[in-house]
Amino acid sequence: MELSLLDTTLIALDRLALATIIGASAAFIWLLKDHHARTLVQPRLRFMIDGALITLLITTTVVLLMRSATMADVSLLAAFPFVEKVVEKSHFGSLWAGRAIALVIMITLWLFIRKKTPSLGCMLLIAGCAAIAFYISATSHAGDEGLFTLDNLTNSTHIIGGCLWGGAVIAYLVIISTLRQQGDAMHEIICSSADRLTSLATVALALVISTGLLNAWHRLETITELWQTDYGITLMIKLGFVAMMMAVGASNRFIIIPAMTGKPATSGRFQRVLSLDALLFITIICIAAALGIQGPGEH
């Protein structure tokens, strides 16, 4: 039970770190076009990315140790001697190695170029996160038929889309709070970058829906479990949060952002709504992590 709680926390942290890196990188590349605004925001986004990379490094290491304990059927402290065998002689271990290599390359490149060419650094981070999402997906059902299959590619894109959606919202919270500290002078930049945020979120949502439909096409036979098992009920709760996040996104796009033009005082309301959106995203990640541990009911 304690191991399950640790596992859930670890997976939630792992996905949150992945989303933060993707979101902060995408925000730096696409949301801010003004040079002065970029200079102001850059140190905070870099700090966010650095923190998320360290988190990802820790979760990657601890996940291996935990899976080794599970696979060898021993306690966490007794798992060290089995780590090598897990990496060498298991499907999970070989995928973990791929993920670890991608992460090490990503961190090394980022450390060298993050100050000189941050935009290039952010693009490389997104590519690295896509590789990690690919390996995460491959350890699920999507990887059953092999690594380079349509199923795995679809599911990886689904994970990237979800991370882009939520991660961009979290990163934009840092951007808006930094720009609002500069007073009304930055309001026009806040409005234009908010417009770009909704466009980015729409693209991410389109990715999530299209790949989600393809996933459904492959696995529709399991849909009855939605209302027949505890797992399904937990899943429905998660869906409720997803629907709420969509509703908040729609209200931002169609009501709150159009009303912000020329009214600096309204940016505070936008920031509060975005905070709610970010909270919903974190809740969804926690529920998804719990679902991953719980699994569907026994057959």
Partner 1 sequence: MNTIKRASLYSSLLLLLTFPLISWGHVHLDKSIPSKGEAVTPAPESLQLWFSGGVETDWSKIEVNSENGTRMDDGEVSHIDDNPKTLKVKLKPLPAGTYKIKWNIVAHDGHRIKGNSHFSVK
Residues that bind partner 1 (CB under 8 A): 67, 70-73, 86, 89-92, 139-141, 143-144, 155, 158-159, 205, 208-209, 212-213, 215-216, 218-220, 222-223, 226, 232, 235-236, 238-239, 242-243, 246-247, 250, 254-255, 288, 291-296, 298-299
CA atoms within 13 A on the CB side of 75: 3
In a 3-state reduction of DSSP, which class is residue 257? Answer: coil
Q: Which two tokens stand for residue 213?
A: 């439909």
The CB-of-144 to partner 1 minimum distance in angstroms stands at 5
Residue closer to partner 1 by CB (options 132, 176) is 132
What CA–CA distance (Å, rounded) separates 151 from 141?
Answer: 9
Closest of 266, 47, 276 to residue 173, by C-alpha? 276
What CA–CA distance (Å, rounded) separates 25 from 199?
Answer: 16
Residue closer to partner 1 by CB (options 111, 239) is 239
The CB-of-250 to partner 1 minimum distance in angstroms stands at 5
Residue closer to partner 1 by CB (options 124, 136) is 136
The per-residue DSSP string of 224-244 comes to THHHHSHHHHHHHHHHHHHHH
The CB-of-70 to partner 1 minimum distance in angstroms stands at 5
What CA–CA distance (Å, rounded) separates 7 from 28?
Answer: 31
Residue closer to partner 1 by CB (options 185, 209) is 209
Residue closer to partner 1 by CB (options 241, 270) is 241
Q: Which two tokens stand for residue 111?
A: 């450390």
The CB-of-288 to partner 1 minimum distance in angstroms stands at 6
Residue closer to partner 1 by CB (options 212, 264) is 212
Please measure the distance between the N-terminal and C-terminal CA atoms of the chain and give it in whole angstroms.
21
The CB-of-219 to partner 1 minimum distance in angstroms stands at 5
Q: Quick check: 278 and 173 in contact, CB under 8 A?
A: yes
The CB-of-205 to partner 1 minimum distance in angstroms stands at 8
Compute the CA torsion angle 195, 45, 41, 252 (nearest 10 deg). 20
